[in-house]
Amino acid sequence: MHGASRLLPTLRQLNKGRELATNVDEGFIEVVVMRAVTRFAMVLSLTAALASSCTAAFAAQPYEGFWASTKKDCRDQDSASRMSIEGGNRLYWYETRCRAGEITADGKQSWKMRLACEGEGEKFRSNPRVSVAADGRLVIENGPVGQAKRQTYVRCEIAKKR
């Protein structure tokens, strides 16, 4: 057996020529390449599917933006009557901030929210109904701030920083 192996050239001898030789046959290489291509295609399609489904989740909601009780309050950056809703689930007032853990549709332009809030050293929960009226005003019923059961806000047009 030892003598027979000397009849076959070694990889070193074969590699002295123009083409490099390997001890891996072409069928094996094809299988490895096809597996890699298949895995890449699966990852690419999964990434595309996730990106398209996340786009809808991250689209701006009609209630997002800067709001105030009056247009005059919009211009006063220190007004306690201003508030903002950002990222679809974060609500900010003068001394209170809330995060919505759950938001469910309650009509065409209306949502019920479960808020976890903190403000003035206190942590509390609130379950308001938020809606955008036909005139574009934001209406918050049973909100976490203020004395009134129903608060209305106008949308503030905030100048973009340059």
Determine how β-strand 150-155 pairs with β-strand 65-68: antiparallel
Same domain, 69 and 149: yes
Q: Indicate the number of domains in the chain.
A: 2
pLDDT for res 92: 96
pLDDT tens string 76-108:
988 899 999 999 999 999 999 999 999 999 999
User: Is there a contact between 153 and 69 (Cβ–Cβ < 8 Å)?
Assistant: yes
Q: Which of 35, 58, 81 is the last residue of a domain?
A: 58
* Predicted TM-score of the model (pTM): 0.61
- Tell me, yes or no, whether 141 lies in a domain: yes
Count of other CB atoms within 10 angstroms of residue 28: 10
SS3 state of residue 92: strand
Same domain, 45 and 77: no
- Tell me, yes or no, whether 140 lies in a domain: yes
Same domain, 87 and 127: yes
User: Is there a contact between 95 and 89 (Cβ–Cβ < 8 Å)?
Assistant: no
Same domain, 73 and 41: no
pLDDT for res 53: 45
Same domain, 139 and 109: yes
Same domain, 82 and 43: no
Phi, psi of 109 (to 5 degrees): -125, 40
Domain that holds residue 131: 65-155
Same domain, 12 and 41: yes
pLDDT-derived band at 143 (thresholds 50, 70, 90) equals: very high
